[in-house]
Structure 1
Amino acid sequence: MNGSRLPDPFEKHLAAVSPADPLTPADRYQELFVEVQMNRVFADSKTFVDCAPRLHPERILEAYRSRCRLPGFDLAAFVAEHFRRYEIPPSDFVADPDCTLAQHIDRLWPVLTRRPQEHPPRSSLLPLPHDYVVPGGRFIEQYYWDAYFIMLGLDQSGQSHLLRAMADNFAYLIDTYGHVPNGNRTYYLSRSQPPVFALMIDLFEEKSICLASDYLPQLRKEYAFWMDGADCLRPGECHRRCVRLAGGEVLNRYWDDRDTPREESYLEDVLTARESDRPVHDVYRDLRAGAESGWDYSSRWLGDHGRLSSIRTTAILPVDLNSLLFRLEWQIALLSQVRGDAACAEEYRSRAEARRVAIDRYLWSESAGAYLDYDWQLERQRGDLTAAMLTPLFVRLAGPQQARRVADTVRGRLLAPGGLATTEVGDSGQQWDRPNGWAPLQWIGIRGLEEYGQTKLAGEIRRRWLRTVGELFERENKLVEKYILRPGAGHAGGGEYPLQDGFGWTNGVTLKLLQEDPQHAANRCRAGRLGF
């Protein structure tokens, strides 16, 4: 741990964490894994990779190889015999018609909280030392960028112990694996998600939970993960998540260290790659990189809006990723100064300023009045307008005039009846496009606009979003992963799986926004009582 000391509550639990299986399900079960996924033994590809083996995996694979060619072999029966499917723990939770929306969310936190106990041996789950909150639905593990938005709600609910526990889990993951995986599963270890750890620890000092500088070693280690190989690149070269541009600047992209189908979406990725005329491993890499972005999937990553197989995530330098890395650089600089390391503080201030200049040069569009993703292979900005353009405001790297231009563009092109639209594209079939809206983007947009005094537009997005969430809650007694941004609309669609309810980041963002707008009708809505 580079000689650093972790906060005491984190350190004392390390001995209780059992070692994880170093292999993913595809590595473990080889041709058995392929057969199960390609024959759709389970309707959702994620089900099998979350199963726990009843025997040692090597014995299961030996049994499969000895029996698979016998007459009458039943693959589904074999899987049921040798694997234990994860079952969601039974819950007697029901929506209480006497509870407000905020009270309903407060009651959901215990339902979504997982407590580290004996992890299933040789399963894909990565053990963690502390309690954590899962998103809900099919997402039964801790996810990286989801967790920040969940923590906003935990903060509002006074759950400071869970705030600290979850951040300590991420510190543990960084120290153990060198980065925060997409989620705490072995099949997620080859990628991360938008780097929001720096945002998490900001919550601590606001609430006097602990010193943010306690996590400086982990912040630096995470930064090293994202910048791996940057110093050795020449103009026009790339390595993992870094690209050195023609002018010598370094900006980042999303990446995944594997170029095979995602294990949790194996069949889906194979079918997508078959529709492309590119090498299948390139398609797989770009699908995986799209998953690292958190926007899985969106027209912003596609060459052709109508074809997922045209995905080219690794060719794109995203606005939001580079904004968050700017925030990470500034956070390291500030905390280094607090710790008395002036040289480190100056180094990271210089890095942040260099990134700001590069973002202005490559990602700012004066003609569009917006920040746009940059295609470094084609050496031009992407034409697609997305809600990611508000992230530079959120991390305070935009200039005042740029912020005004962004606000005008949002007002004219991305303000939907139900909140902040994700993109302008509505015919892609992907879930991170119109007509869907997402809680994390509402939060980033609202906070970013408020940072630059655009309170009227921020308030309008807040009001529209709360109405959207409140209407569905009154109609169906639940909060969901994403919403259609039209009044009275049905369920959001698109993507690879059905709509999920629960739902962690919607709960967290909504709870904070309700508190900020106490007069909004959503504060008075009740389950099953139509009042809007």
Structure 2
Amino acid sequence: MNMIKAETCEKGPVIPTTPLVIFLEKVQETALQVYGHKGFDPKQFVDMSLRQNIEATVEAFDKIPRTVNGSVLKNDLDGFIGKYLGGADEDLVYVEPVDYVAEPEGFLPKVKNTEVRAWALEVHSLWKNLSRKVSDHVLEKPELYTLLPLKNPVIIPGSRFREVYYWDSYWMIRGLLASKMYETAKGVVTNLISLTDQFGYVLNGARAYYIAIHIFSQPPVLAAMIVDIYNRTGDLDLVRRCLPALLKEHHFWNSGIHIVTIQDAQGSTHCLSRYYAMWNKPRPESSTIDRRTASKLPNICEKREFYRDLASAAESGWDFSSRWMRNESDLATTTTTSIIPVDLNAFLLKMELDIAFLANLIGESSVVTQFTEASQNRQRAMNCIFWNAEMGQWLDYWLDSSNKSEDIYKWEDLHQNKKSFASNFVPLWTQLFSSVVDDITTQRVVQSLRSSGLLQSAGIAMTLSNTGQQWDFPNGWPPLQHMIIEGLARSGLQEARTLAKDIAIRWIRTNYVAYKKTGAMYEKYDVTRCGAAGGGGVYVAQTGFGWTNGVVLALLEEFGWPEDLNIDCY
């Protein structure tokens, strides 16, 4: 497989940084020098707020005494932060969800085991812990905060993630729907729609540094949220309000630098999408770490390419993984923008199918026609470019500029990434798998998943490479478990449905056992050990945890838990 670097370090517009974020990055860099790397979380500093205006705060910061070598003493920095900066958790305040009840009517009717049911109710109660609203201070003086002033209450992931995140919200909504918290779920979507109305896409997270710094989103699942809420509530007014925003988001992912044209082996051309952040500097929430990683690169052009590819990997949600690297042992070889990813295009296929469904509900026939055709085109493209019959998987495709003419890449088998990733099976989640793939192909995909090495005793691993990155082996993440399980469960093949239930049991069990040991739900788990939290990456395992809670509740609603089935590790 010929893996190449991005073609130019200056491609794509860059949005200027806001003074507030520039200043907080400066505080972050100073804090690293003072406090050291151990236990240091750079995000904490760009999430802080100002107690006075930016001019007065910068002036005070510049007056902090410096030693001969220009460094700041710990007591002086502590004093400045205490006087001039607000804590990273002061911009959101707790709010009781309007539709929370301790045990909703009709809650998880398939869960018969009393231990599991008691635990599920505890997980359900965590929605109260994660519910917030934007502080009145943010609404009154937004220029002092990096948090964006969203109108409705929010559900945060937990721990260091104190703001709304895009794709996290989908699985939180699935859990909220299982908890019968329909108004809270609608509020979450309404917040995301407001971001799309304002910016043309849903931000990665609801912070100023996600708009003024590196323009990028996250896996596009907004349409799926609206479909799932409609299927529970029948709310056509919500559909009418949301459709224009969905059209904007679709345009964001299907225009400009996100679009790649590729010619298949038969000479037909197809358009597919890639992750591509419009940013070529360190990410503010991780500036000190990004700079340290880039320091080994020889020149500014390569550093800028790396920063863009790093932000693009964050846009994918897989930050970070050997999936994006030319050399899986070296994060500095991340080359996300040179990859056409299977999962992004599966998300977009589902978006197109969902938009057509929603438009049909409200009589927008021209939109139905447009997006039905778009979904058919993408389905053909995915089968031609990604599908590998020998492996029984859809495979990421690496772009090679030497095999390009007039902005059209020519497909070659050698550019498919032949490694097994959990993302190779995300098309299971769309109708591509459940409605058009024959039983023989379905069986091949099921066999491929079973034999891939990804399926472990406690769930599905993201990759087979143990690199120390958090989206690599042995970690399993809730969204991928849920999408693959749900796709298998919808199949017409009994073998696929049986496998879906088996994986669901493994995943529910490891969540339960970890909770009983620690009292926490984790953002990720080690799928080789039942009840073990995941690790790797640049921060410790986070608890809370929004999408983990949502996936467990959704799986328990779908599959239940029989009274006589053992819940403890074997």
Contact 1:102-1:523 within 8 A present in 2 as well: no
Give the superposition deviation at 1:343. Answer: 2.8
Deviates more, 1:513-522 or 1:274-283: 513-522
CA distance in 2, matches of 1:517, 1:30: 47
Contact 2:510-2:532 within 8 A present in 1 as well: no
- Match of residue 361 from structure 2: 338
CA distance in 2, matches of 1:448, 1:531: 26
Deviates more, 1:195-204 or 1:206-215: 206-215
Deviates more, 1:403-412 or 1:312-321: 403-412
Asked if residue 141 in structure 1 is aligned to residue 160 in structure 2, the reply is no
Asked if residue 158 in structure 1 is aligned to residue 171 in structure 2, the reply is no
* 1:450 maps to which of 482, 489, 510: 489
Could you give the per-residue CA deviations for residues 25-71 of structure 1, whole angstroms, max 9, x where no partner exists?
43355755543456557810000001011111122123333445577
- Aligned to 1:77, the other structure's residue is in SS state helix
- Match of residue 30 from structure 2: 35
Q: In structure 1, give the amino acid aligned to 2:340.
A: L
- Match of residue 49 from structure 1: 46
Identity of aligned residues (%): 34
Could you give the per-residue CA deviations for residues 199-240 of structure 1, whole angstroms, max 9, x where no partner exists?
1001222112512344111110111111232xxxxxxxxx2x
- 1:54-133 matches, within 5 Å, as 54-67=51-64, 69=66, 74-87=76-89, 100-120=118-138, 121=141, 122-133=144-155
CA distance in 1, matches of 2:476, 2:125: 24
Give the superposition deviation at 1:130. Answer: 0.4
What is the count of residue pairs matched by the alignment?
493
With over 3 angstroms needed to count, the CA separation of the structure-2 counterparts of 1:280 and 1:523, relative to structure 1, is: farther
Give the superposition deviation at 1:524. Answer: 8.7
CA distance in 1, matches of 2:364, 2:373: 15
CA distance in 1, matches of 2:165, 2:295: 29
Deviates more, 1:507-516 or 1:396-405: 396-405
- Match of residue 195 from structure 2: 173
- Match of residue 541 from structure 2: 499
Give the superposition deviation at 1:291. Answer: 0.6
Contact 2:509-2:531 within 8 A present in 1 as well: no
- Match of residue 11 from structure 2: none
Asked if residue 264 in structure 1 is aligned to residue 282 in structure 2, the reply is no
Contact 2:514-2:520 within 8 A present in 1 as well: yes
* 2:514 maps to which of 472, 482, 485: 472
- Match of residue 417 from structure 1: 457
Contact 1:101-1:524 within 8 A present in 2 as well: no
Give the superposition deviation at 1:487. Answer: 3.5
TM-score, structure 1 as length reference: 0.86
Asked if residue 23 in structure 1 is aligned to residue 40 in structure 2, the reply is no
- Match of residue 6 from structure 1: none
With over 3 angstroms needed to count, the CA separation of the structure-2 counterparts of 1:489 and 1:450, relative to structure 1, is: closer
Give the superposition deviation at 1:338. Answer: 3.5
With over 3 angstroms needed to count, the CA separation of the structure-2 counterparts of 1:58 and 1:129, relative to structure 1, is: same
Could you give the per-residue CA deviations for residues 364-418 of structure 1, whole angstroms, max 9, x where no partner exists?
1112110111112376111221111222120111323443222111111221100
TM-score, structure 2 as length reference: 0.81
- Structure 2, unaligned runs of 5 or more: 1-15, 95-114, 402-411
With over 3 angstroms needed to count, the CA separation of the structure-2 counterparts of 1:310 and 1:492, relative to structure 1, is: same
Could you give the per-residue CA deviations for residues 126-154 of structure 1, whole angstroms, max 9, x where no partner exists?
01110111111111111110011011111
**Runs of at least 4 residues of structure 1 off by over 6 A?**
70-73, 88-91, 521-525
What is the root-mean-square deviation of aligned Cα atoms in Å?
2.7
- Match of residue 515 from structure 1: 557
CA distance in 1, matches of 2:80, 2:420: 49
- Match of residue 384 from structure 2: 361
- 1:179-328 matches, within 5 Å, as 179-189=201-211, 190-211=215-236, 212-229=239-256, 239=257, 241-246=258-263, 248-277=269-298, 279-328=302-351
Could you give the per-residue CA deviations for residues 315-361 of structure 1, whole angstroms, max 9, x where no partner exists?
11111110111111222223333333333322222221111111111
**Higher RCO (C-alpha under 8 Å, 6+ residues apart):** 2
CA distance in 2, matches of 1:175, 1:488: 43
CA distance in 2, matches of 1:192, 1:391: 19
With over 3 angstroms needed to count, the CA separation of the structure-2 counterparts of 1:338 and 1:137, relative to structure 1, is: same
- Structure 1, unaligned runs of 5 or more: 1-20, 92-96, 230-238
Deviates more, 1:159-168 or 1:243-252: 243-252
CA distance in 1, matches of 2:473, 2:563: 25
